[in-house]
Structure formats: C-alpha cells, structure tokens
A and B are shown apart, each in its own frame.
Chain A
Amino acid sequence: MLKVRLFGMLKTLVPGGKELELALPSGTQVKDLVDALHAQYPQLGELLLQKKVLVSVNQEIAHWDTALIEQDEIALLPPFAGGA
C-alpha cells in the first residue's frame, strides 16, 4: 500500500482530501502511480501527465522511473505559490 500526500488545490480534486492510499506493490514506478491515479481521478491524472503537478519522493522531486517502496514519503505538489 502506497500513501500519497496531497497539497494545496489538489485537496479539492480528491474526495476526502489530505492523503490517498493506493494498493500498489513496492517497486512500482512513479509512472505506474500516475497511471493508477489517472484511472481513479482523471482530472488529477491530467495535471500529472502535463507535469503541472509534480510527484515528490522523500522530499525530492521524482522522475517517471523512480521506484517506490511502502516506506517512501510520496506527495503530489501543485504549482508553488510562495513569496508575495
């Protein structure tokens, strides 16, 4: 089971909000995670495919082929809006 944290506007796209759990095995790559999310949440999936939403793993931006394990801290990051 992979846990995925959501931030900012993404919480409005997914019912229930802050965190998603996906029944994917360890060793799954980020691109497989994106496919699984796309199937369940098409709007979120599109943003991921267009790279408007980034995937981070253990607090670093991940690549499509980054492999995931259950202990990883995975998050979906919409466009940043810090500063003033």
Chain B
Amino acid sequence: MAVETEESMLVRVQRENFSIDEELTRVRSRSSRIGGIAMFLGTARDRSKGRDVSAMTFEHYEGMAQKKLKEIREQALRDFDIIEALVLHRYGPIEIGENIVLIIVGAEHRADAFKACQWCIDELKKITPIWKMEYTPEGEVWVEEHP
C-alpha cells in the first residue's frame, strides 16, 4: 500500500476518522529494522462517571495542540529506544464506538515499543490542550467541569 510518510503525517489533529491499517503501514514503512509495533487506540465509550453518554465533542486549541503532539513524538524518539512514533487525535463530534486517538510506536523490540506507547498516551493526556464535552441524559457536560 502506498502511504505518504512525511513527518507531518506522523502527528495530526483532524476531524475525520483515520484508517488504522493505513497508519500502521505508515509507521512500518519508515524502517525495515522495526520488529515490534505497539498501538493504543482510544475509542468513545457510552458510560462516564456513572452517567450514560450518547455522543461527545472534542475541542482543541488549534496550533498548540499540534505543537504538543509534535513535542511528544520528538521526546519519545529521544527518550526511548524506538524507531518511529505516530500520534493522532480527532476533534469535533464523535459517536459512541468511534475512534478518538491513535498512538503507534515501532521499535526493534517489543519492550521499548510498549513502554513508549504508554508514555505517549499518558503524556498526551497531561499536556495537550484538548477538551471533551459529553452528551448525557442530564445535558451537555464538559469533562472535569468542576476542575
């Protein structure tokens, strides 16, 4: 499969869904030395803090969100023994069961791929200016509305 592999494609914030197959191909085509790939896919669940959730919307800070995802990828490449990392997050309205976030890490060996993948998603949650509004029977709720 021919897939674009510019660096800008490895860090994206986008409204539309993504193809996991295409993104996986994008990462593995970066190097034939990759021998282990770890992936985290976050999807929209129908329950949150004891409430039913019927849909959600993600808001992001355009520019800063991309900048932080880029920093995460670059730091992961520096701090872990990995070959490539891809970080994608969607924004806008998302239905239950849909994809939200994707991290794919390619390394020579599995241990580094797993470790870096977990670090990337943890760090994304910490430093990336993205917010979630959930639609519940009680109305629209910003997650962490009472921070």
Contact = CB atoms under 8 A, between A and B. Distances in A.
Contact of A8 (B45, B59, B100, B125): B59
Contacts of B124: 82-83
Contacts of A56: 61, 64, 129
Interface of A is mostly: loop
Interface residues of B, number: 31
Interface size class of A (residues with CB under 8 A): 10 to 19
A45 interface: no
Contact of B147 (A12, A79, A84): A79
Contact of B131 (A8, A52, A84): A8
Interface string B97-127: 0001100000000000000000001001111
B145 interface: yes
B137 interface: no
Nearest to A53: B147
B129 A83 contact: no
Contacts of A9: 131, 142, 144-145, 147
A21 B92 CA distance: 26
A59 interface: yes
Contacts of A59: 61, 63-64, 67
A83 B127 CA distance: 11
- Top 4 nearest A-B pairs by Cβ distance? A84-B42, A82-B130, A8-B131, A9-B142
Interface of A: 5, 7-9, 12, 47, 52-53, 56, 59, 75, 77-84
